[in-house]
Amino acid sequence: MSPAVESTHVRDSAELGGHVLTRAELVDQAVAWPVTAERVLGAGSFTALLQDDITAPDGSTLQREYLQHPGAVGVIALDAAGRVALVRQYRHAVRHRLLEPPAGLLDVDGEAYVLAAQRELAEEVGLAADTWHVLVDLFTTPGIIAESLRVYLARDLRPAEAPDGFVKEGEEAEMELSWAPLAELVDAVLAGDLHNPTMVSGVLAAWAAQLKGDDFATLRPADAPWPARDANPDLGEDAQTR
């Protein structure tokens, strides 16, 4: 039996230190410490490795490296039977073929976020959806990558043609549409069998939203603002402009 189960005394926050946040305080703060120097250590087709000298509140100078990134969108496409549309894609950086929901970069100038998600859904799995909501927004690895990710919930699915001129290339050429029940995906995530951040965050958010029992009515609309991304528009700048 674990210590948590054995314990008969539940400690409150006053004993443990710190304070309990109100709902109004549960929001990330957009703050930028002053940058006194910026160096480009390397640039690729859509990312750049930057090294910044920043001034901390105590006046000290810190040096931090991070990858610039254009951002991305993902789609949890849920059918009437409660199954999610998936692809399996090779990811060279981690040397795995990951099971993932449809997703892609925000690399089309001026394209609305939800339109990018709709395009990716059609390109990767040949589907369209009549009902869209925002599931979750996140920074995927904020300690090192400036990638913002928005995951949508898409329902009322139907077949769709890929956009004119689109051809699957590279890793995408091997992708095929698969389906899995949302409940089983939750089990697989919690078992440590699935690792893609779009999958993990999207599946758990969809499951949590479903548990509310309101047919996802409390989710944000598809065109909801994305203030965390909009607070730092330069972080999504194309690497080629560096």
Which residues, other chains included, contact 32 with Cβ-Cβ below 8 Å and sequence gap of 6+?
Answer: 232
Please give the torsion angle defined by the CA atoms of residues 75, 76, 77 and 82, in that order, rounded to the nearest 10 degrees: 180
Active-site annotation holder among 172, 176, 184, 237:
172
172 is catalytic: yes
The residue behind tokens 């995951």 is: 151
- Residues labelled catalytic: 172
